Structure 1
Amino acid sequence: MKGVRSIIKSEFPSHLKEDVKTVAAYLSQELSEGIRHGISEQYIEMRLLDGEKIRFPYRFYFKDEHVTFPAEFTKEQRCIYHCIYTRHYNGYIREKHVTSLLLEYPEELPDWVCSYLLSLSGEYIMEILERLYEMLSPRKNETIQAMSQMNSQQFLYIHDRMISYWNEFYRGRCPRYKQYIGKKLFEVCYGYTRRMEKQRIFVVEA
């Protein structure tokens, strides 16, 4: 079984290599109770604005995070830690670390942080979408919108997932999609427009 420390080296840009090593040494290697595999088989790949690719698991299942950081952790190291825990299986933990990330960067976000926030936006917990919209909508969001364009196929897939979860879980609470927080998040904060659908590539199986 791969431990979380063995896979995070591909989750962040190369210039953060030493910071990643520091954070990795702090992570739990103990699986949560009743869990046999620590890392999901599904991965998400994103291209950063300089062309470098990062790749991180859809979910991991290690024990809950530490309550406090070592005093010597830098801002980048704290944010690496927060990004990792946005992939945690516990939705409350994901939401907490999303909030922490956005508080660490009150203005423009680094592109590698944007990768994690975009990926999280296609998931099923409406409260996380609400928190993202609440904290991102007052900002310019130029980097996250550039990342949406850079990763247009992945972005459109994430957008589709958001709509599917609205239809499956939240249509009763919010019957009109135009009023759904996910739609607002993608359009106001991420720059989604119908014109982006023209960039979609359909793969036809032989």
Structure 2
Amino acid sequence: MKMQRANQAFPAFLKQEAEALDQIIDQLRQARVAMHRFIEVRVGEEELVIPYRIYHQGYEDAFDHLTETQSILYSCLLTRHHDGHVRQGQLERILSVHEPWIVPFVFQLTGEYVIQILETVEAHLPKFDPVLYGRFIRDNQAYFQTTQARMISYWDCYYRRLYKHPSDYVGFRVFAKFREFSKSC
């Protein structure tokens, strides 16, 4: 399976760093990307294409070859890893970065089934920049609705018996906060 280029997932001003990341990943021959599915979002004035899922092992070795910026880009991409533990670990690495292009990688994780990831996001919500998240949500309304619906579907399928009231489930609380962000700025 051919690797989607990293520079499609990030704004144009990061093109040089993303292309260098592509070369390093290619040299290590470690990554495969699910090309049949991807996530299209708007960040500022740019349309970005984020891989839905990345499959590879031994990704830790790549960090030794990356600059600080490339490392952040790579962590963003690894939030799309097939292993939920990897996604959560990389999420924790990028949560402190307050850039608009980080938001879609964090936001995508809130529509997935791993409750520990939702708990991590909720724990960090007080540190989120409401302006960044609010603008992203307003610029990507259909994506917001789809992601929220996916969260509700996973709650219904896996967690409804444990959390009978929506307010008891972390996903509903996270999305309530996101809705606040979208209205406040």
Q: TM-score range by the shorter chain?
A: 0.7 to 0.9
Q: Percent identity?
A: 26
User: Larger radius of gyration, structure 1 or 2?
Assistant: 1
Instruction: Say which SS state the counterpart of residue 39 (structure 2) adopts.
Output: strand
> What corresponds to 1:42 in structure 2?
37
Cα distance change of structure 1 residues 140 and 83 upon mapping to structure 2, 3 Å threshold: closer
Tell whether the 8 Å contact from 1:114 to 1:143 is kept in structure 2 after alignment. Answer: yes
Cα distance change of structure 1 residues 60 and 138 upon mapping to structure 2, 3 Å threshold: closer
The whole-number CA distance in structure 2 between the counterparts of 1:72 and 1:98 is: 18
Instruction: Say which SS state the counterpart of residue 21 (structure 2) adopts.
Output: helix
> What corresponds to 1:203 in structure 2?
none
1:187-202 to structure 2, matched below 5 A, reads: 187-188=176-177, 190-191=178-179
Tell me the number of residue pairs that the alignment of Structure 1 and Structure 2 aligns.
180
Tell whether the 8 Å contact from 2:137 to 2:144 is kept in structure 1 after alignment. Answer: yes
Which segments of 5 or more consecutive residues in structure 1 lack a partner in the other structure?
Answer: 32-36, 196-206
Relative to its length, the structure with more helix (as a share) is 2
Q: Which of 96, 105, 108 is equivalent to 1:119?
A: 108
Cα distance change of structure 1 residues 54 and 25 upon mapping to structure 2, 3 Å threshold: same
Alignment of 1:185 with 2:180, yes or no, is: no
Q: How far is the alpha carbon of 1:140 from its aligned partner?
A: 4.1
TM-score, normalised relative to structure 1: 0.79
Alignment of 1:172 with 2:161, yes or no, is: yes
1:1-206 to structure 2, matched below 5 A, reads: 1-3=1-3, 6-27=4-25, 28-30=28-30, 38-49=33-44, 51-66=45-60, 69-70=63-64, 73-74=67-68, 76-103=69-96, 105=97, 109-188=98-177, 190-191=178-179
The whole-number CA distance in structure 2 between the counterparts of 1:69 and 1:19 is: 14
Cα deviation code 1:112-146 (max 9, x no counterpart): 11011111211111110100110123444220121
Cα deviation code 1:22-61 (max 9, x no counterpart): 2223324236xxxxx7424111000112x21000121121
Q: Segments of 4+ in structure 1 off by > 6 A?
A: none
Tell whether the 8 Å contact from 1:11 to 1:56 is kept in structure 2 after alignment. Answer: yes
Q: How far is the alpha carbon of 1:168 from its aligned partner?
A: 0.4
